[in-house]
Copies of this chain bind each other. A is one copy, B any other.
Amino acid sequence: MTDPRLAGLVQTLPDLRLLTDPADLEHYGRDWTRRWTPAPLAVALPSSVAQVQAIVRWARGAGVAIVPSGGRTGLSGGAVAANGELVVSLERMNRVLGFDPVDRTLTVQAGTPLEAVQNAARERGLAYPVDFAARGSCSIGGNIATNAGGIRVIRYGNTREWVAGLKLVDGRGELLDVGRGLVKNSSGYDLRHLTVASEGTLGIIVEATLRLADPPPPTSVMLLALPDFEALMQVFSTLRARLRLEAFEFLTDRALHHVVAHGAQPPFAETYPFYVVTEFAAGEAEEAAALEAFEHCVGEGWVVDGVISQSEAQAAQLWRLREGITESVARYVPYKNDVSVRISAMPAFLAETQALLAREYPHFDVVWFGHIGDGNLHINVLKPDDMAQDAFVADCERVTRLLAGALQRHGGSISAEHGIGLVKKPYLSSTRSAAEIEVMRGIRRVLDPDGLMNPGKLFDP
């Protein structure tokens, strides 16, 4: 207990688990970004909604800022605590609270990992269909705070679509119970949707009631090799029209190179410029339709090679080529862009971006992948081993400013699914107008009048 301010918190909540050990401060003070030095005041691990409310009330009195904390797998610095904040980790609030088979909803505490939510749904004969590689580590509260997307958005939408209700302890310490699982409710402003993607700036999400879907159909996975970017949109249109797509992901040769170097099985004897991993409902008719679509694409010159999974093991192997990318490049401390445009704007935006990056990054290894069917592109720029982190980031920021300009021209977003956090704060105005940001600033003041909820994230006061 180094800081005297904590004495008041301990007195208020003698049962609260509180960490101040330097290793804990470092562990809980950062997310998957590695740009800021963690320096929280302490880490609180509440076990109940009442404790969370008491923490916020104490923080208001003590003037201590709060960083809400889930699995800290974020890529935008939204969960970084580098300025003496109290980290409020939800990791002990990780229980399934209820299931309703008629409403088809699952109610969980916010610290529940995504994978635990998926498993709980599956055990009840249903599915929670939002999915991405960090499923084992990320928490549902963090998913909601960033409106997490992932690899199934093309079919099931983002996290937002599956939140039937949530409980938020706002910056005033008030518990807001919004949505409450109602299908229809036209009684004023939707504070549930307002909370989704608010990145901890309006309060701490403590509980969520999630809609569940029918279990997904049996699927097949297909890997396709493509000659160029133009082919990508053609293949997407063709497959979307003929198959029930559950996923449609692309990656470049550089992405495949790193995944294979990291231990994955190379799918083809040769290498190609682009690859698509797509998953679709399986069955005799569907396989025939897939084969026909494949042959059509080959005939048009849009696809130059391909493989279709013959077993679950092979499907998993093909998925690993896409899902293993982030891990395979992690050691290069990549600089990440996560941008989106309307699907119709994708071809023009891709052409412009490809030219921009080729011109500006001749010296860097640039790995592209993403959710092309959602208009969402991930760009990972790998840091050369012999380059200092600061100089590398500065160079990437220069290019991101150019990219933000392109996004503005194409009506796109600087953050498709990672959130703004600290990383993209300087570029928010490329996506949201000054009038919009002024409205967001005002709304934040309403729910967090003292400016203590995740300050410095998303936008400045």
Contacts and interface: CB of A to CB of B under 8 A. Distances in A.
Interface in A172-190: 172, 174-178, 180-190
Interface in A418-461: 418-420, 424, 428, 431-433, 435-437, 439-440, 442-443, 445-447, 458-459
A185 to B, nearest CB: 4
A193 B184 CA distance: 14
A103 B187 contact: no
Contacts of A424: 187
A342 interface: yes
A196 interface: yes
Given A190-B194, A411-B180, A174 B435 contact: yes
B458 A188 contact: yes
A414 B187 CA distance: 7
A285 interface: no
A122 to B, nearest CB: 19
Interface in A191-224: 191, 193-194, 196-199
Interface in A82-106: 100, 102-103
B431 A344 contact: no
A429 to B, nearest CB: 10
A33 interface: no
Given A187-B413, A188-B459, A176 B103 contact: no
Interface in A264-309: none
Interface in A60-88: none
Contacts of A433: 176-177
27 contacts: A100-B342, A147-B186, A158-B186, A160-B190, A172-B435, A174-B435, A176-B433, A176-B435, A182-B341, A184-B375, A185-B415, A185-B431, A186-B415, A186-B416, A187-B414, A187-B431, A187-B432, A188-B197, A188-B420, A188-B436, A188-B437, A188-B459, A189-B194, A190-B193, A190-B196, A191-B440, A443-B446
Given A177-B433, A187-B197, A193-B193, 20 more contacts: A102-B344, A153-B184, A160-B190, A170-B435, A176-B436, A182-B412, A183-B340, A184-B413, A184-B416, A184-B417, A186-B197, A186-B413, A186-B415, A187-B419, A188-B420, A188-B428, A188-B440, A190-B193, A191-B436, A191-B439
Interface of A: 100, 102-103, 146-147, 149, 153, 158, 160-161, 170, 172, 174-178, 180-191, 193-194, 196-199, 237, 340-344, 371, 374-376, 411-420, 424, 428, 431-433, 435-437, 439-440, 442-443, 445-447, 458-459
